[in-house]
Amino acid sequence: MPYNLFLSFLAIRGTCVIVGQPNDAIKFRAYSLVGSGQKLAGSKIGSIADIKDMLALAAERNVRPVIQKLPMSRVNDGLAMVRDGSVRYRIVLENPSGLDCKL
């Protein structure tokens, strides 16, 4: 990602918030921040309004998550995959069919 370019669009003393976790290392010239009093921050999620907008867009465009499904009986396999980094994005554990769980 061209973070130096992104920071060049930021106002003096502005804040750039990275939402989510980038796949690659973040590289930029520190002077971009120091010279103009800019800040770089991170967040796992956006604001409530951002989340609502993104969910609406996902529904409108039929966006689906990239997941790996495993039966609940393989929960330990799923944990091992998360620990060794072999899982792609998320693992979803499924209850056996016919099991009716109510909260």
Any idea how long the chain is?
103
| pLDDT number for residue 73 | 93
81 exposure class (CB count in 10 Å sphere: 0-12, 13-18, 19+): middle
Using only the alpha carbons of the chain, give its radius of gyration.
20
Q: Does residue 53 sit in the same domain as residue 69? A: no
Range of the domain at 17: 3-61
Q: Tell me the whole-structure pTM to 2 decimals.
A: 0.45
Regarding predicted confidence, which is higher, 21 or 72?
Answer: 72
74 and 54 fall within a common domain: no
**Do residues 16 and 7 touch, judged by C-beta distance below 8 A?**
yes
Q: How many domains does the chain have?
A: 2
For residues 81 and 57, state if they share a domain.
no
**Residue 9: both structure tokens together:** 């669009």
On average, the pLDDT of the chain sits at 87
Q: Residue 46: CB partners within 8 Å, gap ≥ 6?
A: 19, 54
For position 17, what pLDDT does the model report? Answer: 87
pLDDT in tens, 40-85: 898 888 788 988 998 999 999 999 989 999 999 999 999 999 999 9
